[in-house]
Chains A and B, each alone.
Chain A
Amino acid sequence: EPEVTQTPSHQVTQMGQEVILRCVPISNHLYFYWYRQILGQKVEFLVSFYNNEISEKSEIFDDQFSVERPDGSNFTLKIRSTKLEDSAMYFCASSPLAGRPYEQFFGPGTRLTVL
């Protein structure tokens, strides 16, 4: 069964460093999302992406964040200068355009630790 994959599973970085989190959505899906979950808290929407551009972004998704679909298969989230409060689990999700557009399939997540 097709699934969303994310790499790395765990990333440790120093404050101020840039990180890139990678996701490979399900191949025939057209909507892509990033969500964040700070440890012990609820899942929060960051950004949605469709047709090679950002569809919507939350207040959390400030200028330090960017997303890209560089090669038609990967979907990346970049944090330019990480802060301690960026430590969280980051989930990528994808959704098909037709059929069941509201069901989002989640990857296993990347745990980001900023020291």
Chain B
Amino acid sequence: AQKVTQAQTEISVVEKEDVTLDCVYETRDTTYYLFWYKQPPSGELVFLIRRNSFDEQNEISGRYSWNFQKSTSSFNFTITASQVVDSAVYFCALSDGADSNYQLIWGAGTKLIIKP
């Protein structure tokens, strides 16, 4: 069965620190997709990244970077030089196999608090 685990319920750091949000997933499929979404206090879900299972290259987008490790079934998200505006709940999600019609299986989320 598919499962996404975000073990960190809440992380609090001071602005400008780097922070890594962990995501571990379980799936039996060889083809799958992993996502990160941001949910700011306003409540909407903001897409950050999609990664497919055949592409293990790490990705960097500005202050954001993602580390995909198939060997450990992890897809961790790092924010470099954090800012107060990064404060939000971050969700990792998995979509696998044609049978599932691409529904997203979500982790519990990590609440990130960036203190000034």
Binary per-residue interface labels of chain B (19-58) against chain A in the complex, 1 for a CB within 8 Å, 0 otherwise:
0000000000000010101000001110100101000000
Residue in chain B with minimal CB distance to A31: B102
Stretch touching chain B among A14-22, A41-49, A67-75, A79-87: A41-49
Is B91's beta carbon under 8 Å from chain A?
A: yes
CB distance from B112 to the nearest CB of A (A): 15
User: Mostly helix, strand, loop or mixed at chain A's interface?
Assistant: strand
Known: A42-B108, A43-B45, A109-B43. A33 touches B103 (CB 8 A): yes
A-B contact list, 21 entries, CB within 8 Å: A31-B101, A31-B102, A33-B103, A33-B104, A42-B91, A43-B45, A43-B104, A43-B106, A44-B106, A48-B102, A56-B100, A56-B103, A58-B103, A89-B43, A91-B45, A102-B33, A102-B50, A102-B102, A103-B47, A108-B43, A111-B43
Pair count A-B, CB < 8 A: 58
Taking a contact as CB atoms under 8 Å apart, the answer to whether B104 and A104 are in contact is: yes
How many residues of A are in contact with the other chain, CB < 8 A? Answer: 27
Is A65's beta carbon under 8 Å from chain B?
A: no
Residues of A within 8 A of B (CB): 31, 33, 35, 41-45, 48, 50, 55-56, 58, 89, 91, 95, 100-109, 111
Give chain B residues whose Cβ lies under 8 Å from the Cβ of A109: 43-45
CB distance from A48 to the nearest CB of B (A): 5
Give chain B residues whose Cβ lies under 8 Å from the Cβ of A102: 33, 50, 52, 95, 102
Measured between alpha carbons, how far is A24 from B43 in the docked complex, in Å? 18
Picked from A35, A56, A111, the residue with its CB within 8 Å of the CB of B101 is: A56
Measured between alpha carbons, how far is A102 from B103 in the docked complex, in Å? 9
CB distance from A34 to the nearest CB of B (A): 10
Taking a contact as CB atoms under 8 Å apart, the answer to whether B44 and A100 are in contact is: no
Taking a contact as CB atoms under 8 Å apart, the answer to whether B106 and A108 are in contact is: no
Taking a contact as CB atoms under 8 Å apart, the answer to whether B43 and A42 are in contact is: no
Known: A105-B47, A109-B44. A42 touches B107 (CB 8 A): yes
CB distance from B64 to the nearest CB of A (A): 17
Measured between alpha carbons, how far is A25 from B52 in the docked complex, in Å? 24
Residue in chain A with minimal CB distance to B42: A108
> Which of A33, A41, A42, A100 has the most chain B CB atoms closer than 10 A to its own CB?
A42
